[in-house]
Chain A
Amino acid sequence: MVSRSSSDESGIDISAGDRVAGQPADLAADNTFDEPGAPHKDRNRGAVLNPKLGLVGTGRFVWRLLTSMRTALVLLVMLAVAAIPGSLVPQRSSDPNGVVQFKANNPELFDIYESFKLFDTYSSPWFSAIYLLLFVSLIGCILPRIAHHWRVLRQDPPAAPKSFARLEVNTDVPAPDGLEVALTAAELALRRSRYRVVREGNTLRAERGYLRETGNLVFHVALVGILFSVGFASGFGWSGQRIIVEGQAFTNQLSSYETFNPGRFFDEQGLEPYAVQLNSFVPEYKLDLVKNSWMPIDFTADVTVTDETGSRDAVLKVNDPLTVGGSTMYLLGNGFAPVITVRDGDGNVVFSQPVSFLSQDANLTSVGVVKVPDGLTEQLGMKGFFYPTATKLDSGALTSSNPNPDKPTVTFNVYTGDLGLGGGAAANVFELNTDDMKQIAGNHTDVKVVLGLGDSVTLPGGLGSVEFTELRRFIGVDIRHDPTQLGVGLATAFAIGGLLISFGTRRRRVWVVGKSLAKGEILRWGAQSRSEDPGLVGSVDRIIEAAATRVR
């Protein structure tokens, strides 16, 4: 029976033969489950001889097609191809601004792309369909293999083939001291090489490297584990973004976040109470003399964390997040927050607070918005630029020549009218809609608002004044709680372990038959590997030699 030596080859393991493929030709040739007691032993007959499949038969046919190696292969290639568009088209998940920009630039194309969910490629139905099918195929393949491997692990090594002619190793070794002595020595030598050996009369059956399939199965189960960890645990995660200005504190409650993305099962009670105060933020820049541009070297935020256990000082840096209250805080952005003070016509302060300006370039030219809804005779809105080191261009416009605040300057365009805050919808603090407003100062008006630190300017019409009172910095932080990390981390560790063990192990079978021939007694050695294994011949030679040396 030729097929014996490959009788339990069944699939995903690269060492094994085909998985059960869908085509009758393959089915006929395939001997995957033809061992006694193997599942679906009679399937070949069903598929080949009886083309009219019933409901059950069709289901079984589709299942086999789905769990075949060929299908898995096609699905893998499809998954790779399907992942490409997501790298070409901006994704909502990683680049929401890019999506907005794309819509503005190509409104028609946007609708077409949108109908294919190209802006959400990795959560789109078609992408999900491919990887879910792949995982169904994977599970359908590994479940029978686990059961099979479990049985194989508890069985003796398989019986010797009738003829050794087809085996990779096939040698006769004389046994001058008699078969008994030679077989005992051979058995010992095989055991020393960590073979599992069974002796039956004058025959030894030996096998080693079961860990290859074990590792392989662990790897694939771990992949399923990663998918399930993400699928189940991600609903309990959440993330939020927040800007913290020097001297201010962030308290961990839902209303403190500027943006918040809850998982499906998020519960507000799950936010542990704590506060993080930003004491100072110190960036460090270095001038690149070749490119004549400033490069960031270091960002350090000194914070004070207050939670149930008390207060402590901590440092938050890029690549060095802060773990507090079951969540992690990451330093992802920073900028300047000039303190702007607005006074009414009588000199009473109606607005005085740090205003976060978002940086636009490497020298931190930044834009920001001030909204003063109350306290003045009219609602006041200001759109402004901030320059850490203001420099005049030839055109007369200002620019920043340095990210360090050597000559901090704020400029504003000032508007009066309706700020549009009455609608109830949360207004973006970084945007000012001037449709219902009238410009009273700034560019193209008589009253320029260009303020150095400590400067103030009087607004026309006795409205009041604007002052650049103080300069502070802010940091932008991401705060996340990701319960998938533990499961994914563990599963990944298992996957890597399984992969290394599987690729590092050779599954080999050796048979030794003692024979009395006319020329004398001999041991006939045969060996076969279950995988790419050029070392087989050498390793079996060494075992034969060890066995022979032992006899002498």
Chain B
Amino acid sequence: MTELAAISLLATYSTMAVYTLSFILFAVDLALRSDSDAGVLPTRWLRSAMALLVLGWALHGFATITRGLAASRVPWANMFEFGLTATFVLVGVFLGLQLWRDVRFVGAFVSGFALLALGIVTVNFYVDVVPLPPALQSYWLVIHVCVAVLGTGFFASAAALSMAQIFQELREEGKVQGRNWAFLRAFPAATMLESLAYRINVVGFVLWTFTLVAGAIWAERAWGRYWGWDTKEVWTFIIWILFAAYIHSRATRGWRGRSAAILSLVAFSAVIFNYSIVNMFFKGLHVYSGL
């Protein structure tokens, strides 16, 4: 079984290499498009970048599945595995979105973020396959963490769009100008970006609601109460409230646009904080980082 884990780790490193190439090509595409006058249209580098991303994603999927096989369970029982699966889902959400809308313009962000996140979790949080402690032996591990991973993937994609929206809005208002920002011509208008980010965040919000509820049901079975203000529960609640605020902000005059986008980014930062800092440094019942 350890050979499988080793194969998984090898595939993870290969994934990172392919993502790196993909990220570079995404960046080259943006750079070329900001250079030429007719640069609004995608260059051929974009197609190569997408092809590499798909290849990387396939490797990533292989790494995730072999990790699960090596452990004979779902591959999300500790921090490393959660990171491995969450970045896989993030890239998957991004690729899936292409079937619905052309959002390749945030490819540089998504591939870069996935690469960075995968690198950090593999280098810093890697742990060998170990059996599940009794507290995690429940089918709720499959449900609760699976929806959390999916929600994180959607939130991350929306965060990319919200960030693009903020810069695009500044450019449209003439607050940022010049060649450094010319790549934004390749991006849709700020209102379009906002609408896309909003709808992806709504899907993330629904998934996060499921995370919260499934977590509460599991907590009742494992710890005897469905809600106890454990640090992880608190942060999951904070994230839920922040995204609820974001959704309401879109219906509030004076909050639409940049303020809403900032709220979306703040909420996503809370997701990252919850995964990293809370897991590693906060005391609580969710002590499953495996570190």
Interface residues of A (CB under 8 A from B): 11-19, 21, 26, 29, 69-70, 72-73, 76-77, 79-80, 83-84, 86-88, 90-91, 93-95, 98, 121-122, 239, 286, 288, 290, 295-299, 317-321, 328, 330, 332, 478, 480, 482, 485, 488, 492, 495-496, 499-500, 503, 532, 534
Contact = CB atoms under 8 A, between A and B. Distances in A.
A21 B255 CA distance: 13
Contact of B134 (A79, A298, A328, A499): A298
A80 B133 contact: no
Interface stretch (B23-31, B113-121, B202-210): B202-210
A319 B238 CA distance: 26
A80 B222 contact: no
Contacts of B216: 492
A492 B130 CA distance: 35
B137 A80 contact: no
Contacts of B138: 319
Contacts of B230: 94
Contacts of A328: 224
Given A86-B229, A319-B134, A532-B195, A73 B209 contact: no
B13 interface: no
Nearest to A81: B238
B254 interface: yes
A503 B244 CA distance: 13
A321 B135 CA distance: 12
B249 interface: yes
* A-B CB proximity, top 10 nearest: A76-B245, A330-B224, A318-B134, A87-B234, A80-B241, A319-B138, A87-B231, A478-B224, A69-B252, A80-B238
A80 B130 contact: no
Contacts of A488: 226
Interface in B195-254: 195, 198-199, 202, 206, 209-210, 213, 216, 220-226, 228-231, 234-235, 237-238, 241-242, 244-245, 247-254
B224 A332 contact: yes
Chain B contact residues, majority secondary structure: helix
A18 B130 CA distance: 52
Contacts of A19: 251-252
A492 B248 CA distance: 20
Contact of B283 (A73, A95, A492): A95
Given A14-B251, A320-B221, A532-B198, A496 B134 contact: no
A282 B282 CA distance: 31
B223 A330 contact: yes
B280 to A, nearest CB: 13
Contact of B248 (A69, A299, A482): A69
A13 B244 CA distance: 11
A315 to B, nearest CB: 13
Given A83-B234, A296-B133, A319-B137, 20 more contacts: A14-B248, A73-B252, A77-B245, A80-B238, A87-B235, A88-B282, A94-B284, A121-B229, A288-B130, A296-B134, A297-B132, A297-B133, A319-B134, A330-B223, A485-B220, A488-B226, A500-B206, A503-B202, A532-B199, A534-B195
Given A328-B224, A332-B224, A299 B134 contact: yes
Interface string B269-286: 010000000100011110
A517 to B, nearest CB: 34
Given A69-B252, A318-B137, A480 B245 contact: no
A72 to B, nearest CB: 6
B224 A499 contact: no
Given A297-B134, A321-B221, A499-B209, A11 B251 contact: yes
12 contacts: A12-B251, A76-B248, A77-B245, A80-B270, A83-B241, A87-B278, A93-B229, A98-B283, A239-B225, A297-B133, A328-B224, A499-B209
B215 to A, nearest CB: 12
Nearest to B136: A319
Contacts of B172: none
A437 B210 CA distance: 57
B248 A73 contact: yes
Contacts of B35: none
A288 B241 CA distance: 40
Interface of B: 128, 130-135, 137-138, 140, 195, 198-199, 202, 206, 209-210, 213, 216, 220-226, 228-231, 234-235, 237-238, 241-242, 244-245, 247-255, 263, 270, 278, 282-285
B198 to A, nearest CB: 6
A310 B231 CA distance: 42
Contacts of B206: 499-500, 503
A122 B229 contact: yes
Contacts of B241: 76-77, 79-80, 83
Residue in A21, A83, A121, A496 with the greatest tally of chain B CB atoms within 10 Å: A83
B137 A14 contact: no
Nearest to B140: A319
Contact of A295 (B131, B221, B237): B131
A320 B140 CA distance: 12
Nearest to B270: A80
Contacts of B221: 319-321
Contacts of A14: 247-248, 250-251
Given A480-B224, A534-B195, A318 B135 contact: yes
Contacts of A297: 131-134
A237 to B, nearest CB: 10
A93 B135 contact: no
B282 A73 contact: no
Contact of A80 (B128, B131, B245): B245
A381 to B, nearest CB: 32
Contacts of B228: 93-94
Contacts of B234: 83-84, 86-87
A83 B213 CA distance: 18
Contacts of A70: 252, 254-255
Contacts of A320: 221
Contacts of B235: 87
A542 to B, nearest CB: 18
Contacts of B249: 73
A427 B131 CA distance: 40
A321 B228 CA distance: 18
Contact of B225 (A76, A80, A480): A480
Contacts of B202: 503
Nearest to B237: A83
Nearest to B245: A76
Contacts of A495: 209
Residue in B222, B241, B242 with the greatest tally of chain A CB atoms within 10 Å: B241
Given A18-B251, A239-B224, A290-B128, A80 B134 contact: no
A295 B133 contact: yes
